[in-house]
Amino acid sequence: MIEIEGLSFSYTKQPFIENMGFSVSKGEILGFLGPSGAGKSTLHKILTGQLGGYGGSVRVLGKEVKSHGREFYERIGIDFEFPTLYEKLTARQNLRFFGSLYALPLRDNDELLGRLELTQDADKKVSDYSKGMKSRLSFLRALINDPEILFLDEPTGGLDPANARIMKNMILEEKTKEKTVILTTHNMQDAQELCDRVAFIVNGSIAALDTPHNLIMRKGAASLSYSWLEANVEHSAECPLDQTGGDLRLQRLVVEGRLLTVHSAEPNLGDIFMEVTGRALQ
């Protein structure tokens, strides 16, 4: 679905993205993770045809992005980081207007509004919407043409946990329909939960590209912590995971059935990002 070879791009004389390459398969969710200014949004704009003047090859849906015409936008959906809606129109009118720009059959507006619990406010002007409501509506706008590739830039930003969960379920549903998703985010939890693979982007380059599981397991769980009761007082301890066989106290507590809790301390994607790049995600 997406093939990039030798991609370079610059806003000035200094290169911003240099010799980047990767591919994305049909039905895959690929996440771009990195700090602000790393090149995530620029890459997003190149892939969606918003930025030209790049070097190398960027092929999306089997064709160089530079050569795509109007038909390209019939086949993709874009959810920008900052909502781009007509605030004097209602939610329903916004979806109807944006839907009128497409020639292909559209998804049902009422069904989409219902999924993200906007039906009750569908006829309210967007200017009266909260930030989270605008984010939900922008996401629905990206789905209205039933796109083959969905480009999402910080889709759950500003959402409460309940609506973020609904949106993430909808993203996973798109994957089951063999839709491809490009997810640009600072949120390592979203990336770890949703993405088949993640790319760590720093200073316009890909520092690592793999599945979240593989990236985490390269480092492995650092330690195991456990707790137990002694004279009605709770105690806790930890030991390196590869040395649990030599922890006599742990073995004794297991035999005696006195363990209260046992937890392994795996790193998360944020930890791995710091280790690989020396920088924080935020």
pLDDT in tens, 48-97: 999 989 999 999 999 999 888 889 999 999 998 777 899 999 999 999 99
- For the segment 94-122, the average pLDDT, to the nearest whole number, is 95
Segment 135-139 long-range contacts (CB within 8 Å, at least 24 positions apart): 135/83, 135/159, 136/163, 136/167, 137/83, 137/85, 137/91, 137/94, 137/95, 138/79, 138/80, 138/83, 138/84, 138/85, 139/79, 139/167, 139/170
Question: Is the pLDDT score of 281 beyond 70?
Answer: no
Judging by beta carbons within 10 Å of its beta carbon (0-12, 13-18, 19+), is residue 38 exposed, middle or buried? buried
In a domain, 135, yes or no: yes
Domain match, 124 and 255 both:
no
- The number of domains in the chain is 2
Whether residues 93 and 148 fall in one domain:
yes
Range of the domain at 66: 2-216
Ranking 92-106, 133-147, 182-196 by mean pLDDT, the lowest is 182-196
| Residue 276 pLDDT | 79
- Do 42 and 128 share a structural domain? yes
Residue 270 lies in a domain: no
Q: Could you give the strand order of the β-sheet that contains 2-9, starting from the edge strand earlier in sequence?
A: 17-24, 2-9, 55-60, 63-64
C-alpha torsion sign, points 64, 10, 48, 200: positive
* Residue 279 resides in a domain: no
Q: List, for residues 256-278, the tens digit of each pLDDT value.
A: 999 999 988 777 788 888 887 77
Residue 105 and residue 204 in one domain? yes
Enter the pTM of the model.
Answer: 0.84
Q: Is the same domain home to 258 and 160?
A: no
46 and 155 belong to one structural domain: yes
Find the CATH number of the domain harbouring 171: 3.40.50.300
pLDDT, one tens digit per residue, over 148-175 is 999 999 899 889 999 999 999 999 999 9
How high is the pLDDT of residue 36?
78
pLDDT band at 282 (very low <50, low <70, confident <90, very high): low
d(CA 1, CA 278): 32
Are 13 and 133 in a shared domain?
A: yes
Q: Based on the domain organization, do 186 and 230 belong to the same domain? A: no
Tell me the backbone φ, ψ of residue 32, rounded to 5 degrees: -100, 115
Across all residues in the chain, what is the average pLDDT?
90
